[in-house]
Amino acid sequence: MGFPIETIRTAFPSLAIADDGTPRRYLDNPAGTQVPQRVADAAARCLIESNANLGGFFRTSIAAEAVTERARDAMRDMLGAASTREIVVGPSMTSLTFRIARALARDFLPGEEIVVTRMDHDANVAPWLTLAEERRLTVRWLPFDERTWRIEPAALDAVLTDRTRLVALNYASNLTGSINDVATLAARAKAAGALTYVDAVQFAPHGFVDVTALGCDFLACSSYKFFGPHLGIVWGREELLEELRAYKVRPSTNDLPWRFELGTPQIELFAALEASVEHLAWIGELLGEGGSRRERIRRGFAGSIAHEATLALELIDGLRAIPGVRIVGIDDPGRVAHRVPTVSFVHDTIAPDTIAEALARENIFVWSGHNYALEIVRQLGIPEERGVVRIGAAHYNTHDEIAATLAALRRILAE
């Protein structure tokens, strides 16, 4: 069966919005996706029907607690976690990563080492650099390979020592789009006695995550990148979370995962979070019958990966044909399975901001700059203040949208 793109698009009301007759073309997805109606409805319904703080004896409070439990059930199913005790939810991946780093730091000793990459978004770099500064740890920098665009296991081996406590790396880059072989890298880190903290923010909208198969210790994502609300989620191995002492107020419970969730939870966003996972499972339902929610999610991703790969190929093909354009990332059509459909490029003379602004005038939404992947532009020698133009597809984008974007680019860059 083909990918039911039209049915999927009708689930997203914002895709039908036009401004003065010009449709909106959302290719800003690596920075945040649109949401299906069910996600907006779930938040609204929660605010109306179960708007209370947790822990009360009365109906709305009990209902609000159930909302948080269902959201955690959904994330357990999406990530392949063993239990909801491993699912920590918070305002953003960045804030949760600082939080976990701070809790881990209590146990790290001066002179011990951490590994951070030149491929990561700063949200998986700065928390560890801060920790290193405070605990006087040694930082080992891990470059990405400029031919494969990923972290090669041999490069990780070269920086691991018997003092390495933690390796922070990404699943997929938010600038180049390339995907790391996390299972192999996590196994190498583990063999050296180090923990692995994986940033899956860019991967999670585009692929099926299995924390058990990956063998990592922590994995972070953000639901506003996978058609949901503005929340961050960290999965942590239960026995590790159990050992960690959280920075928290005294009266709040020390139970998992609540220990790491500060203050009153964003209950309406938890409701929306469950709905965003249901959306992913619904795509699986469109593509075949039956199966647990996790199996439906897997089936949905099998369909969207194939659809997104065709969009990425068209984008890469089109960009390669424009004089003066250089793709920053995998541009070999034979290696498209090694990237998500986030395609960045630079032009010989025209600045990324100028290009993004010209596209915005045509209601085509893309990002320019380093997109917080500071270390990537530094490693490549791309001026930080310029960065790249980043075009990122999601499963609701169409071939027509890619064609229109390429046509606009050809015109803008020729002028």
Ligand X SMILES: Cc1ncc(COP(=O)(O)O)c(C=O)c1O
Per-residue x/- track, 173-192, ligand X (CB under 6 A):
-x------------------
If residue 201 lies in a helix (H) or strand (E), which one and from where to where? none
Footprint on residues 357-396 left by ligand X (CB under 6 A)? none
276 lies in the binding site for ligand X (CB under 6 A): no
- Minimum CB–partner distance for residue 93 and ligand X (Å): 3
> Interface with ligand X by CB under 6 A: which range of 42-50, 199-207, 294-302, 387-395?
199-207
CA separation (Å) from 152 to 142, 146, 148, 247?
9, 10, 8, 35
Binds ligand X (CB under 6 A): choice among 94, 178, 196, 397:
94
Footprint on residues 35-74 left by ligand X (CB under 6 A)? none
DSSP string, 253-307: --STTGGG--SS--HHHHHHHHHHHHHHHHHHHHHSS---HHHHHHHHHHHHHHH
Asked whether the CA dihedral 215, 218, 223, 224 is positive or negative, the reply is: negative
> Interface with ligand X by CB under 6 A: which range of 41-49, 89-97, 347-355, 387-395?
89-97
91 or 284: CB nearest ligand X: 91
**Residues touching ligand X, count (CB under 6 A):** 13
97 or 397: CB nearest ligand X: 97
Cα 202 to chain centroid, rounded: 3
Binds ligand X (CB under 6 A): choice among 36, 127, 228, 232:
232
* Cα 228 to Cα 205: distance, rounded to the nearest angstrom: 10
96 or 192: CB nearest ligand X: 96
- Minimum CB–partner distance for residue 98 and ligand X (Å): 10
Binds ligand X (CB under 6 A): choice among 71, 201, 273, 309:
201
- Minimum CB–partner distance for residue 371 and ligand X (Å): 7
* Percent helix, percent strand, percent coil in the chain, to nearest 5: 45, 15, 35
Omega prior to 257 cis, within 30 of 0: yes
Q: How many CA atoms lie within 13 A of 270 on its CB side?
A: 26
Largest interatomic CA distance in the chain: 67
**Do the Cβ atoms of 142 and 159 come closer than 8 Å?**
yes
In our burial notation (b when 16+ CB lie closer than 10 A, e otherwise), range 114-137 reads bbbbbbbbbbbbbbbbebbeebeb
Footprint on residues 96-135 left by ligand X (CB under 6 A)? 121, 123
Binds ligand X (CB under 6 A): choice among 176, 180, 202, 368:
202
121 or 307: CB nearest ligand X: 121
List strand residue ranges (DSSP E) for 110-177, in order: 113-117, 138-142, 164-170
- Minimum CB–partner distance for residue 309 and ligand X (Å): 20
Binds ligand X (CB under 6 A): choice among 71, 74, 93, 182:
93
> Interface with ligand X by CB under 6 A: which range of 48-56, 108-116, 125-133, 198-206?
198-206
Binds ligand X (CB under 6 A): choice among 164, 222, 304, 405:
222
Residues 6+ apart with CB under 8 A from 145: 151, 152, 155
Q: Which residues bind ligand X (CB under 6 A)?
A: 31, 92-94, 121, 123, 170, 174, 199, 201-202, 222, 232
